């Protein structure tokens, strides 16, 4: 995610990191070159296209672009809400156990639970990005966990079962009373629900027919526009058409950029930063209860 100062107008305007502008340059240049060609053809052969078609479909194109961008932002914001809900459930799990189980046994349980919660979130991050390399978790994996996780497809779901076994064993040993154990299980259920919601976003892209149609619509509109504006804009045709193409192609490209919020593009959600925040908060929760991680 790109951090920026919204009040610094000039810095936001000139920053290229996180901007869709680099991907627009080839298309905008093509439209500008067509503008030069359209001006030449109009001046020497009086050829132009009537504006009535562009006038009629322009409003429809605008509505399609607005819908496309809103649909993508809904996916982005829904992803952020699901991640935030997961972080809250993980924090609450840590609070419940670290704050309720006293003594050396509680210390060991809290430290082990913290390790597993952090590992669960890391596995969830990889799962949402379709990544498979477990080497980055070498400092968290214990015993045969790596070899057991390696062949699995839904690793975070399977590892959530191991967290369930850890807390169930603690309940059987009398470390967690019945009411607390039920509350803990509710948090585990919520984690699974949130993961399912995030998985739904990843595995349900914007329908292909819609994405294809809007790209085709944009292509036809922008690449014929120079021959429509050749007469009213004259030799400014290339610049005028490039500006229109920049605006329309840019809106569509922003929708593409944010429709998958769990990736590693500059505008995607900062999963690594959220994970680091989880590590710090869980460490503080354990320390606040008189334990040391």
Q: Contact 120/273 with Cβ under 8 angstroms?
A: no
**pLDDT over threshold 50, residue 265:** yes
Average pLDDT value for residue range 130-147: 93
Note whether residue 91 is domain-resident.
no
Instruction: Please tell me which residue, 287 or 148, carries the higher pLDDT value.
Output: 148
Note whether residue 30 is domain-resident.
no
Mapping DSSP to helix (H, G, I), strand (E, B) and coil, where does residue 7 land?
coil
Mean pLDDT over the full length of the chain: 91
Note whether residue 64 is domain-resident.
no
pTM: 0.89
Share of the chain above pLDDT 70, in %: 98
pLDDT for the residue 105: 79
Share of the chain above pLDDT 90, in %: 69
Average pLDDT value for residue range 27-49: 93
Distance CA 8, CA 102 (A): 51
Distance CA 181, CA 199 (A): 27
**pLDDT over threshold 60, residue 291:** no
Q: What is the CA radius of gyration of the chain?
A: 27
pLDDT for the residue 3: 83
Of 198, 288, 258, the C-alpha closest to 73 is 258
pLDDT for the residue 102: 75
pLDDT for the residue 292: 47
Find tokens 């593409």 and name the residue: 256
Note whether residue 186 is domain-resident.
yes
Q: Contact 78/204 with Cβ under 8 angstroms?
A: no
Instruction: Give the helix/strand (H/E) hosting 223.
Output: helix 208-233
**pLDDT over threshold 80, residue 92:** yes
Average pLDDT value for residue range 114-142: 95
Q: Is the dihedral of CA 221, 251, 27, 32 positive or negative?
A: positive
Domain region containing 181: 98-204+283-288
Average pLDDT value for residue range 181-202: 95
Band the pLDDT of 290: cuts 50, 70, 90.
low
Q: What is the pLDDT of residues 41-91, one digit of tens each?
A: 999 988 888 888 888 888 899 999 998 899 999 999 999 999 999 999 999
Note whether residue 164 is domain-resident.
yes
Note whether residue 57 is domain-resident.
no
Q: What is the pLDDT of residues 98-111, one digit of tens each?
A: 888 777 778 888 99
Residues 6+ apart with CB under 8 A from 259: 71, 72, 75, 76, 205, 206
Distance spanning both ends of the chain, measured CA to CA: 29
Average pLDDT value for residue range 143-162: 94
Note whether residue 21 is domain-resident.
no
Average pLDDT value for residue range 263-276: 92
Q: What is the pLDDT of residues 216-259, one digit of tens each?
A: 999 999 999 999 999 999 999 999 999 999 999 999 999 999 99
Residues 6+ apart with CB under 8 A from 60: none
**pLDDT over threshold 60, residue 129:** yes
Q: What is the pLDDT of residues 174-190, one digit of tens each?
A: 888 889 999 999 999 99
pLDDT for the residue 15: 86
Residues 6+ apart with CB under 8 A from 226: 31, 34, 35, 37, 38, 39, 237, 238, 241
Note whether residue 229 is domain-resident.
no
The count of domains in the chain is 1
Instruction: Give the helix/strand (H/E) hosting 204.
Output: none
């Amino acid at each position: 995610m790109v951090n920026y100062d919204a009040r610094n107008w000039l810095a936001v305007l000139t920053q290229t990191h996180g901007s869709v502008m680099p991907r627009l340059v080839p298309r905008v240049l093509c439209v500008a070159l067509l503008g030069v060609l359209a001006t030449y053809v109009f001046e020497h052969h009086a050829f132009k296209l009537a504006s009535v078609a562009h006038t009629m479909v322009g409003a429809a194109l605008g509505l399609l672009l607005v819908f496309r961008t809103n649909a993508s932002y809904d996916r982005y914001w829904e992803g952020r809400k699901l991640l935030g809900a997961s972080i809250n459930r993980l924090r609450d799990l840590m609070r419940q156990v670290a704050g309720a189980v006293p003594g050396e046994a509680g210390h060991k349980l809290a430290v082990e639970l913290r390790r597993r919660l952090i590992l669960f979130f890391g596995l969830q991050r990889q799962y949402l990005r379709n990544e498979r390399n477990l080497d980055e978790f070498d400092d968290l994996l214990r015993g045969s966990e790596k070899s057991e996780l390696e062949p699995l497809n839904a690793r975070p779901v399977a590892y959530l079962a191991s967290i369930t076994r850890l807390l169930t064993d603690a309940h059987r040993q009398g470390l967690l009373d019945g009411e607390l154990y039920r509350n803990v299980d509710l948090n585990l259920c919520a984690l699974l629900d949130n993961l399912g919601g995030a998985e739904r976003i990843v595995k349900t892209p914007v329908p292909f027919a819609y994405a294809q149609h809007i790209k085709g619509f944009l292509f036809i509109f922008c690449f014929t526009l120079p021959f429509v504006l050749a007469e009213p804009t004259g030799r400014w045709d290339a610049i005028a058409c490039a500006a229109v193409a920049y605006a329309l192609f840019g809106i569509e490209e922003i929708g593409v950029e944010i429709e998958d919020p769990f990736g590693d593009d500059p505008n995607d959600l900062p999963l690594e930063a959220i994970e680091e925040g989880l590590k710090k908060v869980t460490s503080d929760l354990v320390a606040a209860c008189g334990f040391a991680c």
